[in-house]
Structure 1
Amino acid sequence: MNISVLGCGRWGTFIAWYINKVGHQVMLWGRENSRNYHSLKENRKNDYLSLPDTIELNNSLETAVSFADTIIISISAQELRSFAKQLHALSGIQGKTVILCMKGIEANSGKRLTQVFSEEVGKHVNVAIWVGPGHVQDFVNDIPNCMVISSENIEVTKEIVNAFNSDLIRFYYGQDLIGNEIGAATKNVMGIAAGMLDGLHYSSLKGSLMARGTREISRLVRAMGGNDITIYGLSHLGDYEATLFSDHSHNRKFGQAYAQGEKFEKLAEGVSTVKALKELSVKYDVELPISSALYEILFEEKDAKETLVNLFLRPVKFEF
């Protein structure tokens, strides 16, 4: 199978490496003026791995799209709409399978990424998502994990899983696209909250965060028409270890730095997702206490310690 990976950041470069490792022909695309692309072009490596010579690097979007049977996109979630418009202008995209490998919700609309992509590219593309726990730093050291492929067409889901499965990544069939998309995006929000608790030296409250966070997001998924049980699977709860506790998690590290009054320079997708959840909370009339508390801290400059303590230690109520 010929596969193009669009986006050569940490995750996109790993995906190209992995897909090549399991036996497919791979082209890795990056923007000509990007630092990541220049580094890979010069050295064939980044901070995490070295690219084998069998992976072709290219900065022509048209060439990358025409090369592939299946296209994998790994860019910032908030850039997806504008990027999809670029792809729509290329006739070669129609009829292909596109897999979105980012975790987020469009901040200003609250729309899921498959909705955003389909709105811009049209219905003649099979769209799937690749989500779940895992860090590049672990995978390249042969530490395995389990992940999820999900789409609205189970045959497309099965085809991708069969093509990508290995002893390093065991893929499961995702049966609920809404739940898996919302779950994957919102685990980053819980990661920011966990990081703030770490930064405030309240790490023992992360157990409460896990218990209440899953309940909160499961209510939202049910209101949106998904299966609330999905939140307890790999896309959300199953990704908590890699997001709420790992030193590799950008979202956890962002939250910790924020609570300690420090800057964190790398992308934390959960910040934009906090904005999106504000929209979804109103649209679906669902109370999201943890997400709302983070919104107050990040965008209304409320004190992190006071807000989080009040959240977790508020007046006694029934647990369920």
Structure 2
Amino acid sequence: MNISVLGCGRWGSFHSWYANHIGHVVTLWGRESSANLKRLKKTRQNDYLTLPPEVTLTSDLARAVKTADMCVISIKAQEFRSLARQLNSYKAIRKKPLLLCMKGLEIGTGQTLTAVGREELGSDVPLAVWVGPGHVQDFIRGLPNCMVIASDNIELTRLLVKQLTSPLIRFYYGHDLLGTEIGAAAKNVMGIAAGMLDGLGYGSLKGALMARGTSELSRLIEAMGGCKMTVYGLSHLGDYEATLFSAYSNNRRFGENFITHAPFSKLAEGVYTAEALIALSRKYGVELPISRTVYDITHDHKDPRKCLETLFLRSVKDE
């Protein structure tokens, strides 16, 4: 299969490496101005991996779309609508599966990324998501993991799982697209909260964070029309080890560095997702105490220690 990966950051470069690793013909696209693409063209390397010479690098989006049987999209979640509008101008995109590998919700609308894609590309474009636990650094070392591919078309899901599964990544079928997307996005917010607990020396509270985080998000997913049990699968709870505990987790590291005032230059999608979740909380009338606390700290600059101690140590709740 010819696979074009759109986006050449940490995960986009990995998806290219992985697709080539399991035998596909791969094109990796990035914008002409992208420092990541320039570095890859010059050295075939970034901070995480070395791309094999078989992977074609290009800044020509039309070419990348035209030559693909499937497009894997791995960019910043907040940039997806803009890219989707670009893709909409290419007739070749219409019947190609688009596999979204970002974990986020759109600020302002609170929409899932597949909902954004349908608005911009039409309801007939085959859309799916690839989410779940794992870090590039571990995969490159040959450490296996389980992930999930979800769509609202089981035949599409089966096709993508068949094409992408390998001894390195075992894919599960996701039947609840909405719950999968909400859970995958929201786990980044929980990652920030975990990092803040680490920064305050309260890492022992991560068990409470896990229990209460899954509970509040299950209520939101149910209110939105999804299956509340999806949050306990690979897209959310199954991703907690990689997000709440790993040294490689950008969201956890952001939260910890936020508390310790250490510089942090990596992308932490959970900052944007917290804002989107607060909008959904209002819209659906569901309280999201942990998401609200992260939002209050990162956006409204409230005192982290006071907010987190109130959330976990002072409030009296039924379990």
Instruction: Give the TM interval when normalised to the shorter protein.
Output: over 0.9
Show the counterpart of 2:146. Answer: 146
Show the counterpart of 1:125. Answer: 125
Show the counterpart of 1:46. Answer: 46
- TM-superposed deviation, 1:33: 1.0
Query: Which amino acid counterpart does residue 45 of structure 2 have in structure 1?
Result: K
- TM-superposed deviation, 1:227: 0.5
- TM-superposed deviation, 1:124: 2.3
Aligned equivalents of 2:21 and 2:68: distance in 1? 17
Q: Structure 1: where are the runs of 5+ without partners? A: none
- TM-superposed deviation, 1:144: 0.2
Using the size of structure 2 for normalisation, the TM-score is 0.99
Query: For 1:1-320, what aligned pairs fall within 5 Å after superposition?
Result: 1-319=1-319
- CA displacement, residues 192-220 of structure 1 (integer Å, 9 cap, x when unaligned): 00000000010001110001000010110
Query: Which ranges of 4 or more aligned residues in structure 1 deviate by more than 4 Å?
Result: none
Aligned equivalents of 1:316 and 1:48: distance in 2? 44
Aligned equivalents of 2:306 and 2:317: distance in 1? 20
Query: Which amino acid counterpart does residue 189 of structure 1 have in structure 2?
Result: V
- TM-superposed deviation, 1:316: 2.6
The change in CA–CA distance for 1:315 and 1:41 in structure 2 (over 3 A counts) is closer
- TM-superposed deviation, 1:68: 0.3
Identity %: 61
- TM-superposed deviation, 1:5: 0.2
Query: Which amino acid counterpart does residue 63 of structure 1 have in structure 2?
Result: R
Query: Which amino acid counterpart does residue 166 of structure 1 have in structure 2?
Result: S
Q: Structure 2: where are the runs of 5+ without partners? A: none
- CA displacement, residues 37-64 of structure 1 (integer Å, 9 cap, x when unaligned): 0000001111111111111111100000
- CA displacement, residues 47-101 of structure 1 (integer Å, 9 cap, x when unaligned): 1111111111111000000010100000000000011101111121111100000
Aligned equivalents of 2:153 and 2:234: distance in 1? 19
- TM-superposed deviation, 1:185: 0.2
- TM-superposed deviation, 1:23: 1.0
Aligned equivalents of 2:98 and 2:243: distance in 1? 26
Q: Any idea what SS the aligned residue of 1:36 has? A: helix
- TM-superposed deviation, 1:262: 2.5
- TM-superposed deviation, 1:301: 1.1
Q: Any idea what SS the aligned residue of 1:143 has? A: coil
Q: Any idea what SS the aligned residue of 2:103 has? A: coil
- TM-superposed deviation, 1:234: 0.3
- CA displacement, residues 273-305 of structure 1 (integer Å, 9 cap, x when unaligned): 000011000000000000111111111111000
Aligned equivalents of 2:246 and 2:282: distance in 1? 32
Provide the aligned C-alpha RMSD in A.
Answer: 0.7
- TM-superposed deviation, 1:178: 0.5
Q: Any idea what SS the aligned residue of 1:81 has? A: helix
Query: Which amino acid counterpart does residue 222 of structure 2 have in structure 1?
Result: R
- TM-superposed deviation, 1:318: 1.8
- TM-superposed deviation, 1:315: 3.4
Query: Which amino acid counterpart does residue 145 of structure 2 have in structure 1?
Result: N
- TM-superposed deviation, 1:2: 0.7
Aligned equivalents of 2:240 and 2:225: distance in 1? 23
Q: Any idea what SS the aligned residue of 1:64 has? A: helix
Aligned equivalents of 2:131 and 2:34: distance in 1? 25
- CA displacement, residues 136-182 of structure 1 (integer Å, 9 cap, x when unaligned): 00000000000000000000000000111100000000010011000
Aligned equivalents of 1:248 and 1:5: distance in 2? 23
Aligned equivalents of 2:10 and 2:294: distance in 1? 26
Q: Any idea what SS the aligned residue of 2:314 has? A: coil
